[in-house]
Structure 1
Amino acid sequence: MGNVFRRLRGAIGMGMTWAVGGILAGGAIELVHNIWPNPLGGAVDIWPAVLAFPGFIGGVAFSVVLGIAARRRRFDQLSMPAIAAMGAVGGLMVSLVPAVMVGLGLATPNEPVLEITLALLGPFTLGGALAAASTLWIARMGDDQALLAEGEEVADVGLSEDQARQLLGGDR
């Protein structure tokens, strides 16, 4: 049971992280629109809030896809294209949310559901791939910081600079 809660906590954490990314992207759209008014920026009043919700759902969906497709592998063992593809699948799942809501009777569309889904498909799939790749990039940056912290302890052992660099993988 603890494993289920650990996975749930991870999925919610990933969703929150992606929601922050959505807020930042929405803030950038608002900033550009305030400096240079354009039709995209004027289409929605509060972009950060609008992009935070699909960001959260996309992060949770990515966690589900990651848990299924890469169950036996650690995050650092996955390649950037594989992570981006999993993020794209998560984004694709998010683009289906309005169609599911209409199917369940929770929403009434003003436009045909297929048009709504197709309009969301490209941006959400691309956004999911980009967010997943960014997640892996940030995770790898964190690994490098841990490696650098370990490097300070190597100096206490009495290794030369060349030996320490070789030991820490600096000669790649």
Structure 2
Amino acid sequence: MPTWLRRTRAALTVGLGWALLWAPVGVLVGLVVDPDGSMDEMWFLIFGYPGFLGGVLFSILLALRERRRAVVELKLPRVAAWGGLAGFAVGSLPFLIGDPSGSIPVALLYAIAAGSITTLSALSAAGTVAIAQRAGRAELADKTQSVIGDAHQLINKSL
């Protein structure tokens, strides 16, 4: 499989994973904001879309800036910073595209939206890489045990 296709698939997979994990947050926000269900909102999409975009953007940033490092070499605070940057960009996007009007001041609305999406992105990025590192370490340990076992067999045969 070509490298660009593998990376595209990985970015979309991370985006879908984040969207699925963030969707319940949108439902919880909907329960607080609209407890009686009078608003016709699909609350799971309120955080599902930013989760998808944030995951894809994080994957792109990670691929561009950390391409020389293996997943097990990445530092979680640095990864969380890349995730936070992706979240800040996604959280700022609605305010760059349109003019939100309503009873809440725009600065407060921006702080809430960008702040929550930035925080969720940083946590999701650290969690994503921590899971990948754990899987990578387990795979590395299996390979190491296999190599050690092969070395023992060679030594035993030669003796």
Please give the alpha-carbon distance, in whole angstroms, between the structure 2 residues aligned to 1:138 and 1:7. Answer: 18
Please give the alpha-carbon distance, in whole angstroms, between the structure 2 residues aligned to 1:56 and 1:136. Answer: 16
Please give the alpha-carbon distance, in whole angstroms, between the structure 2 residues aligned to 1:138 and 1:58. Answer: 18
Secondary structure of the corresponding residue to residue 73 of structure 1: coil
Distance 1:117 1:4, change over 3 A: farther
Answer yes or no: is 1:109 the counterpart of 2:100. yes
Distance 1:151 1:21, change over 3 A: same
Please give the alpha-carbon distance, in whole angstroms, between the structure 2 residues aligned to 1:151 and 1:66. Answer: 27
User: Equivalent of 2:129, from 130, 133, 136?
Assistant: 136
The CA RMSD measured in Å over matched residues stands at 3.0
Distance 1:145 1:41, change over 3 A: farther
In the TM superposition, what whole-angstrom CA distance separates every residue of 1:7-28 from its partner, at most 9, and x where no partner exists? Answer: 322221221111121134446x
User: Equivalent of 2:119, from 111, 117, 126?
Assistant: 126
Matched residue, 2:23: 23
Query: How many pairs were matched up?
Result: 145
Please give the alpha-carbon distance, in whole angstroms, between the structure 2 residues aligned to 1:79 and 1:130. Answer: 13
Superposition TM-score, scaled by structure 2 size:
0.72
Superposition TM-score, scaled by structure 1 size:
0.68
- How far has the Cα of 1:51 moved from its partner? 1.6
Please give the alpha-carbon distance, in whole angstroms, between the structure 1 residues aligned to 2:135 and 2:24. Answer: 21
Unpaired runs of 5+ residues, structure 2, are: 153-159
Please give the alpha-carbon distance, in whole angstroms, between the structure 2 residues aligned to 1:95 and 1:68. Answer: 21
Answer yes or no: is 1:53 the counterpart of 2:49. yes
In the TM superposition, what whole-angstrom CA distance separates every residue of 1:93-119 from its partner, at most 9, and x where no partner exists? Answer: 1111102321xxxxx522465443222
Distance 1:16 1:150, change over 3 A: same
Distance 1:113 1:3, change over 3 A: farther
Assess if the C-alpha contact under 8 Å between 2:71 and 2:133 holds in 1.
no
Identity of matched residues, %: 30
Secondary structure of the corresponding residue to residue 65 of structure 1: helix
Please give the alpha-carbon distance, in whole angstroms, between the structure 1 residues aligned to 2:144 and 2:6. Answer: 31
